[in-house]
Structure 1
Amino acid sequence: MKTLTMYQVDAFTTELFRGNPAAVLVLDEWLPVETMQNIAAENNLAETAFVKRNANGWDLRWFTPVHEVNFCGHATLASSHVLLHELGIKGELVFETRVGALRVNKKQSAYQLDFPSFPPEPVANLLPALKDITARENITAFQNFENVFIELENEQAVLDFVPDLPKITELDPFGLVITGKGEEHDFVSRYFVPHAGIPEDPVTGSIHSTLVPYWAAKLGKNHLSAFQRSKRGGHLLCELADDRVLISGAAVTFMKAEIYLP
């Protein structure tokens, strides 16, 4: 029997039971993909992150309860918190991932994530489905490589949105982001990925790699305050810096546990 240490961290929050929980395992070598997927399914969190050292820093992979994903922000933040806060690693972290190098630095009581920018792209063939999902004829929509985005008229419309999860599932392989201009923050959002086993994600770093360039252009400013309006909620301080998106957020450890593998 093999024993591994696993952490559970609430990301993009300073309080327990807020933000987005992620599990993190720091490994000496990758486990079989089937085993990593089974651990993620057993955890039944939005993401379980697996981290291991490489010659220049760290390799990082993310799994939902259903499959491995290309990009996850909150589990990157959670992994950074485990390495820097729990394990005492010093200095900048460089993670090699499917979307390239992600850099993370500790900034006072928060962590700054340096992500690639994925500017919004036009939506064409998905427009009829999006109109059906929102029950609106005239919508503002755009997409990136993994999600489609809809801008609603204001923050209250984002809060009032009732997701039709079976219809959203039909967008597979895309998830759905809804966003709107905020009241206390520059913009707000919600995120639904039912085909990945995530009906609504509490707080999502990766979608801000597209939301930030979108709202920066719309509002004419590069420093933005964002809030994800899920039940748990989470605050993200964002900056558009050329072709990078910088996102700052806090994290707190909820649990350290031992798991037993055959």
Structure 2
Amino acid sequence: MKKIEFYQIDAFTDQLFGGNPACVVLLDEWLSDGLLLKIAMENAVPETAFFVADGEAFHLRWFTPDHEMDLCGHATLATAHVLKTILNYQGDKIIFNSKSGLLEVTVADEQYTLNFPSRNPEPAELPEIISRSLKKQPKEVLKSRDYVLVYDDEQDIRDLVPDREVLNQINLDPGGIIITAKGDKVDFVSRFFVPQASIFEDPVTGSAHCSLIPYWAEKLGKTEMSALQLSDRLGKLQCVSLGDRVLISGTARTYAAGFFFID
């Protein structure tokens, strides 16, 4: 029987039960992919991050309850939070090796800043299935990893209720559907939906901002922006466009700590 340490963290929030929950699992060596997925399914949160020390850096992988992801913002922030506040990591810069290359997280005054690749979305046609799932159609459609649907105002984003049964007819693995608009009190707002996923609406999606930041930087003519993800749990993000990279900043709270056991 193997005993494994893990933590549950609320990311992109300064309040418990806000932001996006992630489990962070400490490993001394990699388990099989099938076992990692079963652990993520058992955790039943939007993402479980697994990491192994890799020299002076850390090898990081992310799993939803359904599959492995190529990039995840909130679980990266959560992992940095565990390293810094619980495992006493001494540096102010943490390097992760991942499926999306080297990722850097800097820490200052309890704020974590993710340095992620930019994914500039390009104009695209809206698939008919996605269109049928929406009572109101977007004014603009783009695509990077995810579809980006742009609406007129924040209230559109708050009110939109996509038809999940219709959307489940499309498989966007590993992507999803971002809806976004200019914000009332912040620069822009968004929500994120994943067809065929166990968790249909992701509470706060750092990786989606890899597309949102370059889009809104161009539209608003500014490189530093504030953002809200308008899920029930609400996510707060500070954003900077650096051209081929983006900076995504937020805070986190520790919710739980413990162990699980595997054969």
| DSSP-derived class of the 2:218 partner | helix
- The one-letter code matched in structure 2 to 1:210 is S
Do residues 171 (structure 1) and 170 (structure 2) align? yes
Do residues 6 (structure 1) and 6 (structure 2) align? yes
1:225 Cα deviation after fit: 0.3
Do residues 67 (structure 1) and 98 (structure 2) align? no
Do residues 243 (structure 1) and 244 (structure 2) align? yes
TM-score (norm: length of structure 2) = 0.95
| DSSP-derived class of the 1:194 partner | coil
> Does the Cα contact within 8 Å between 1:168 and 1:194 map onto a contact in 2?
yes
Equivalent in the alignment of 2:116: 115
Equivalent in the alignment of 2:139: 139
- The one-letter code matched in structure 1 to 2:159 is D
Paired with 2:159 and 2:12, the residues of 1 have a C-alpha distance of 23
User: In 2 relative to 1, CA 46–252 (structure 1 residues): closer, same or farther, beyond 3 Å?
Assistant: same
| DSSP-derived class of the 2:133 partner | helix
Paired with 2:136 and 2:190, the residues of 1 have a C-alpha distance of 18
| DSSP-derived class of the 2:196 partner | helix
1:170 Cα deviation after fit: 2.8
**Structure 1 residues 22-33: aligned runs within 5 Å:** 22-33=22-33
Do residues 231 (structure 1) and 235 (structure 2) align? no
RMSD between aligned residues: 1.3
1:90 Cα deviation after fit: 1.8
Paired with 2:138 and 2:150, the residues of 1 have a C-alpha distance of 11
Residue ranges of structure 2 left out of the alignment (5+ in a row): none
Equivalent in the alignment of 1:222: 223
- Percent of residue pairs bearing the same amino acid type: 45
Q: Write out per-residue CA displacement over residues 159-203 of structure 1, whole angstroms, 9 at most, x where no aligned residue.
A: 000121122223312411101110011100001113232211111
User: In 2 relative to 1, CA 196–23 (structure 1 residues): closer, same or farther, beyond 3 Å?
Assistant: same
> Does the Cα contact within 8 Å between 1:168 and 1:175 map onto a contact in 2?
no
1:109 Cα deviation after fit: 1.9
| DSSP-derived class of the 1:37 partner | helix
1:134 Cα deviation after fit: 2.1
Equivalent in the alignment of 2:81: 81
> Does the Cα contact within 8 Å between 1:181 and 1:187 map onto a contact in 2?
yes
- The one-letter code matched in structure 1 to 2:66 is V
1:55 Cα deviation after fit: 2.7
1:96 Cα deviation after fit: 1.0
- The one-letter code matched in structure 1 to 2:87 is L
User: In 2 relative to 1, CA 137–175 (structure 1 residues): closer, same or farther, beyond 3 Å?
Assistant: closer
Equivalent in the alignment of 2:196: 195
User: In 2 relative to 1, CA 3–221 (structure 1 residues): closer, same or farther, beyond 3 Å?
Assistant: same
Residue ranges of structure 1 left out of the alignment (5+ in a row): none
Paired with 2:194 and 2:9, the residues of 1 have a C-alpha distance of 21
1:137 Cα deviation after fit: 5.5
| DSSP-derived class of the 1:198 partner | coil
TM-score (norm: length of structure 1) = 0.96
| DSSP-derived class of the 2:200 partner | strand
Paired with 1:130 and 1:226, the residues of 2 have a C-alpha distance of 25
Paired with 1:7 and 1:69, the residues of 2 have a C-alpha distance of 19
User: In 2 relative to 1, CA 55–154 (structure 1 residues): closer, same or farther, beyond 3 Å?
Assistant: same
Equivalent in the alignment of 1:48: 48
1:152 Cα deviation after fit: 1.1
> Does the Cα contact within 8 Å between 1:168 and 1:176 map onto a contact in 2?
no
